[in-house]
């Protein structure tokens, strides 16, 4: 029994989804998803963990397809609608998916793969309604439910396998921690090949009997237009989205600014995640909205693990405390748990942690130690909250015997009046191991670098000051707006 879907039967007439001006009830969602499940099963009684890939834009059809795959006993493999064909081909081939479901707009892009791999192919708009729902398979919560792919910034992307039990726990812990209930109404602006949108937004809302609304494409004016209607009271986004909303607000006249700021009195919760939230963005958003963004920490393999409190102090630059039932420890390079105030790798244990990397037992074994998942992210526990320092591979710069957090330097650089945004990386250096390098985004006059370094000396130790700079119009980012540090390192080489 899939509890997320079973719960939808408790409130059939409530609005589950708003999409392109249409409202869909929980009853309609159940009916559409069950019809899809029946078609996927065909003459079979259970897909028995067959992988079903789907490339469907965020909205009612996306949720119906995902639920349909689960109800048929398959493993859902959502494809990123912004990825090029080679990336999509890699996922389909790696999962050995035999079935592909797409929106009509992606049919031509994926047709070559359909013929080449002899895929069972469906257009989501063409699924006919099934009047009689045959019995659907039953199975334990331990069954594999979904495969999401890592960003693959250092190696080929790995397929992260979560079970229905993992997903259920990830949802329930956030429901409790963030106070979800059926009166909530959330606007989704996130891509749906990623845990942030799938679990934190859609699944938490639908578990609660709440409403999730979709817009075709993120535009700041479209988001504020939806906010103005007064229905939405929960919002979750990545830092880049908040930055764009702030820029839009800054470009409005004073009357419009006041009007936009007043609408936030209806909101009970605003969350930022998937990338480090610059303190400057948090402070600017608080001035505009009156809300201190709730920062949390998670990743594809674990869902959410740490969160600032829903009620209580939210510390800028920190990601709070472990969520209920999630165990966290910080471990040094010697494998020993570090003391308070010392940096170490975040390791996680709990029912939220994924089952395995798809058909990659070696990577699975290497990612665990004594039952603890090794995240590769570095942090410090300080005065009752965790502060993320960055990924050990790209955000921790090892220079002259020091371990330097790139995120710390970025926070300082962003306070300079001429710097709009920045990215800090380590570059290989024979003498120092690595040197600190910074890319600066400065829309106006570029700062004098000698004067900038003198300014930095008043705020940072000398070993943290960048030794190399470049200027860029924007930083390289992935589909969720996160700066891709490996690509940024290549920019210095170029």
Q: Is the pLDDT of residue 152 over 70?
A: no
Tokens of 52: 């079903």
Identify whether 285 is part of a domain: no
Residue 420's CB: how many other CB atoms inside 10 A? 14
Question: Mean of the pLDDT values across residues 377-386?
Answer: 92
Last-in-domain residue among 139, 168, 183: 139
Q: How confident is the model at residue 155 (pLDDT cuts 50, 70, 90)?
A: low
Please classify residue 345 by burial: count the beta carbons closer than 10 Å to its beta carbon, then call 0-12 exposed, 13-18 middle and 19+ buried: buried
Q: Length of the chain, please?
A: 494
Identify whether 295 is part of a domain: no
Last-in-domain residue among 139, 157, 189: 139
Last-in-domain residue among 99, 122, 139: 139
Backbone angles phi, psi at 468, to 5 degrees: -145, 140
452: domain range? 396-493
Weakest-pLDDT range from 65-69, 208-212, 424-428 = 424-428
- Give tens-digit pLDDT for 416-459: 999 989 999 999 887 788 899 999 999 888 999 999 999 998 88
- Give tens-digit pLDDT for 6-59: 999 999 999 999 999 999 999 999 999 999 999 999 999 999 999 999 999 999
**Count of domains forming the chain:** 2
Identify whether 66 is part of a domain: yes
pLDDT of the residue at 366: 94
Identify whether 270 is part of a domain: no
Backbone angles phi, psi at 438, to 5 degrees: -130, 135
Identify whether 446 is part of a domain: yes
pLDDT of the residue at 401: 72
Identify which of 119, 1, 130, 112 has the alpha carbon closest to the alpha carbon of residue 64: 130
Identify whether 452 is part of a domain: yes
Q: How confident is the model at residue 154 (pLDDT cuts 50, 70, 90)?
A: low
Helices (H), 72-203: 85-95, 107-117, 164-178, 195
Identify which of 19, 30, 250 has the alpha carbon closest to the alpha carbon of residue 133: 30
Q: Distance between CA atoms of 331 and 374, rounded to whole angstroms?
A: 9
Identify whether 305 is part of a domain: no
**Measured in whole angstroms, how far is the alpha carbon of residue 116 from the centre of its chain?**
32
pLDDT of the residue at 274: 85
Task: Enumerate the β-bridge partners of residue 185.
Answer: 211
Kindly list the distances between the CA atom of residue 19 and the CA atoms of 79, 188, 302, 332, in Å, as whole numbers in the listed order: 20, 10, 29, 47
Q: Return the DSSP state at 21.
A: T
pLDDT of the residue at 115: 87
What DSSP string describes 254-277?
HHHHHHHHHGGGG-SEEEE-SS--
Identify whether 480 is part of a domain: yes
- Give tens-digit pLDDT for 269-321: 999 988 888 888 899 999 999 999 999 999 999 999 999 999 999 998 899 99
CATH number at residue 78: 3.40.50.980
Average pLDDT over all residues of the chain: 92
Q: Distance between CA atoms of 180 and 65, rounded to whole angstroms?
A: 24
Q: Distance between CA atoms of 28 and 171, rounded to whole angstroms?
A: 22
Query: What whole-number percentage of the chain has pLDDT above 90?
Result: 76
pTM: 0.87
């Amino acid at each position: 029994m899939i509890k997320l879907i079973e719960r939808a039967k408790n409130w059939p007439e409530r609005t589950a989804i708003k999409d392109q001006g249409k409202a869909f009830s929980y009853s309609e969602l159940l009916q559409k998803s069950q019809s899809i499940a029946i078609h996927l099963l065909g003459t079979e009684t259970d897909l028995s963990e067959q992988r079903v890939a789907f490339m469907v834009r965020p909205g009612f059809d996306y949720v119906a397809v995902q639920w349909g795959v689960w109800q048929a006993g398959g493993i859902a493999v959502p494809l990123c609608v912004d990825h090029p064909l080679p990336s999509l081909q890699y996922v389909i081939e790696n999962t050995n998916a035999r079935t592909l479901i797409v929106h009509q707009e992606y049919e031509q892009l994926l047709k070559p793969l359909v013929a080449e791999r002899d895929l069972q192919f469906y257009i989501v708009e063409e699924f006919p309604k099934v009047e009689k729902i045959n019995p659907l398979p039953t199975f334990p919560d331990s069954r594999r439910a979904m495969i999401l792919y890592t960003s693959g910034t250092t190696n080929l992307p790995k397929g992260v396998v979560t079970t229905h039990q993992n997903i259920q726990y990830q949802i329930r812990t956030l429901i409790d921690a963030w106070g979800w209930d059926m009166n909530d109404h959330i606007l989704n602006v996130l891509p749906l090949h990623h845990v942030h949108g799938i679990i934190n937004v859609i699944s938490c809302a639908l578990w609660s009997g709440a409403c999730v609304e979709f817009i075709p494409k993120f535009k700041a004016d479209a988001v504020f237009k939806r906010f103005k209607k007064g229905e939405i009271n929960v919002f979750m986004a990545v830092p880049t989205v908040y930055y764009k909303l702030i820029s839009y607000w800054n470009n409005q006249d004073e009357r419009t600014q006041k009007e936009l700021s007043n609408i936030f009195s209806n909101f009970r919760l605003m969350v930022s995640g998937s990338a480090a939230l610059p303190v400057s963005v948090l402070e600017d958003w608080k001035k505009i909205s009156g809300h201190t963004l709730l920062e949390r920490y998670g990743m594809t393999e674990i869902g959410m693990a740490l969160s600032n409190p829903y009620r209580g102090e939210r510390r800028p630059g920190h990601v709070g405390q472990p969520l209920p039932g999630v165990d966290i420890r910080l471990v040094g390079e010697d494998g020993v748990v570090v003391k308070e105030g010392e940096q170490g790798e975040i390791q996680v244990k709990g029912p939220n942690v994924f089952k395995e990397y798809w058909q990659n037992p070696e990577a699975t074994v290497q990612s665990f130690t004594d039952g603890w998942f090794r995240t590769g992210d570095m942090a410090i526990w300080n005065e009752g909250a965790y502060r993320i320092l960055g990924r050990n591979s790209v955000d921790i710069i090892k220079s002259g015997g020091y371990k330097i957090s790139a995120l710390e330097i970025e926070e300082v650089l962003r306070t300079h009046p001429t710097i709009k945004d920045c990215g800090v990386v380590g570059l290989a250096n024979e003498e120092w191991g690595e040197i600190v390098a910074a890319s600066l985004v400065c829309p106006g006059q570029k700062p004098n670098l000698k004067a900038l370094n003198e300014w930095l000396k008043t705020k940072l130790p000398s070993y943290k000051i960048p030794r190399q700079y470049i200027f860029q119009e924007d930083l390289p980012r992935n589909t969720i707006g996160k700066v891709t540090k490996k690509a940024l390192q290549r920019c210095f080489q170029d």
